Structures are given as C-alpha cells and as structure tokens.
Structure 1
Amino acid sequence: MAASKNNRRNSSAVEDYLERILELIDSKGYARVVDIAKSLKISQASVTNMVQRLDGDGLLKYEKYRGLVLTTAGETLARNITRRHQLLTDFLTLLRLDKHVIHHDVEGMEHHISPPTLRAIAALTAQLKRRPALLAQLK
C-alpha cells in the first residue's frame, strides 16, 4: 500500500512539473531549470533531479545549461493535465466558490480524478453553462 501511495505522489509531482514546464514554454517560449525552480518555489537541485528523470522517461529533452523541451509525449501529457485542471477550475467557478478554495481543491483533485468522473463533470459543466436557471437552483 505504501508503494502505491508513493507512486501516486510521484505521479502528482511529475504532473505538476509537466504542467508548469508547459506554462513556462507557452508564456516565455522556453523553460530552464532556474525558471521552474523559481516558479515552483523549490531548489534548482530538486528540479534538476526531476528534469533528469523526465528526460529518462522520454517526456522531455534536457541538456545541462541549455534548457529543455517537451517531447511529443511530454507535451501531450502536459496539455491533458492542463485541460483537466481548467475543466475542474471552470466547474468549481460555476459554483461560485472562493478562488482560494478552488485553487486548493483543484490542486488536490486534478491528480486523482478518474476519466469517467472527469467526463461527467465536463458534461455537467456544459449543461450548467447552457442552462443558467439550473445553475441558479444550486445557489
């Protein structure tokens, strides 16, 4: 059981890194270890270790002192994570929750939600956006 929990934690960390790397690349055109460390508020050594792991897993290409780029597999995974994050944010925003609560909840939910549950939330979000009267009944 502990190994399973550790794998989930590692998976969550991988997803957080990929999501942040994609955000940096989309906004700045590049991502460097120093930028990732600053953005995640962690040490450059920790980022370097994870980046080397992601490179070994084929999710990005890393050259020391030159920066990194996501592979096709890494970018696909990162964009899926970003879409999942945005969908959960949109859903909780429709419910008019506090933005700090939304941020906290999405950060926890996005790594553990199953594809069927995510599809159900997507369908419900779409219905609530199309039917404001239904949304008003929830308030």
Structure 2
Amino acid sequence: MAADSISTLPRTTSAVEDYLERISDLIKTKGYARVVDIAAELKISQASVTTMVQRLDAEGLVKYEKYRGMVLTETGEAVAARIAHRHELLTQFLRVLGLDENVISRDVEGMEHHVSAETFAVLERLTRHLESDPKLVEKLRE
C-alpha cells in the first residue's frame, strides 16, 4: 500500500479499527457481516455493536441496513486493508525475530493500533532486510 494513499485515509480509533477488521474478515469468510456475528466475534453485546455500526455508517465506512447487515464502503475497505497490512507486517516481523506464535498474536493485537505510519515504513524495510539476511537473523535470535 502506498504511503500517499495511506495518508489520505481517515484517522481511526483502535475500536473502529477492530470493528472494520472483524467486518472485513467476516465478509471474506462468510460473504456477509451481521451485527450478531460481530458481537460474537468481539464478545460484546449486540446493542453495543449496533451503536458502533451506526457510527461507522455515519462516518461513511460501512453501509448498514437494519436487520440486513452491512458492507464496507470504498473508504471502509481501504481502512480495513491498511489494518490488515499492519497486522501482517507486525506478525511477519515478530516471526522473523523467532518469537512464539502466542506472544506474536497477543502483541500484534496491541501494537497494530499504536504505531505510526512512519514507524511501519521503517519496520517494513527492516523486515525485508532481515528476510534477505539469514545470518543476521541467526545472530539476533542468539
């Protein structure tokens, strides 16, 4: 994803990002996303999900129809793609460093929402460099 396209996306909170990530994942796996599915995934009440989905609709990130479900708007899809890219990059980086999958999973969930675009760009370059230099990775893991 190009840095200039990332900067044009709206700023989002970690809660909004979590919702968009879940909605995107549900649409990819089930073909649709409903309030009940999101509530089950996030382990929260359907009323809380409805409130947030209505907010996401008002912000132009989803198109929500009561009792029918929702789809991501073009902007919502772009934000979800940004979140997925962040998640994948952090996972890949921590795997290169040899961390346990449980640690990676827990840490990525916290880190993905709190690292700047500039830091992600550097992490991406560093990850690519580490992947191309197995001897350096070996030294780091010692």
TM-score by length of 2: 0.89
Give the letter aligned to residue 125 of structure 1: T
**What residue is the counterpart of 2:69 in the other structure?**
67
**Consecutive aligned runs of 4 or more in structure 1 exceeding 6 Å deviation:** none
- Tell me the CA shift for residue 123 of structure 1: 0.5
Query: Structure 1 unaligned runs (5+)?
Result: 1-7
Residue ranges of structure 2 left out of the alignment (5+ in a row): 1-10
Distance 1:124 1:26 in 2: 30
Following the alignment from structure 2 to structure 1, what is the Cα–Cα distance between the partners of residues 102 and 21?
A: 19
- State the partner residue of 1:90: 92
- Work out which structure has the larger RCO, using CA pairs closer than 8 Å and 6 or more positions apart in sequence: 2
Per-residue deviation, 1:122: 0.4
Which residue of 1 is the match for residue 21 of structure 2?
Answer: 19
- Provide Cα deviations, 1:5-26, integer angstroms capped at 9, x if missing partner: xxx9x70100000011001111
Q: Matches of residues 95-134 of structure 1 in structure 2 within 5 Å?
A: 95-134=97-136
Q: CA deviation at 1:136?
A: 0.5
Q: Distance in 2 between matches of 1:56 and 1:120?
A: 34
1:114 deviates by 0.7
Match of 1:76 in 2: 78
1:61 counterpart SS class: strand
Cα distance, 1:132 vs structure 2: 0.8
Could you say what secondary structure the match of 1:68 adopts? strand
Q: Equivalences for 1:32-51 in 2 at 5 Å?
A: 32-51=34-53
* TM-score relative to the length of structure 1: 0.91
**Count of residues in correspondence between the two structures:** 131
Q: Determine which structure has the larger helix proportion and give its number.
A: 1
Letter in 2 for 1:105: D
* Identical positions, percent: 63
Structure 1: distance between partners of 2:136 and 2:105: 24
Distance in 2 separating the partners of 1:58 and 1:15 = 14
Tell me, in whole angstroms, the C-alpha distance in 2 between the residues paired with 1:59 and 1:115: 20
Letter in 2 for 1:77: V
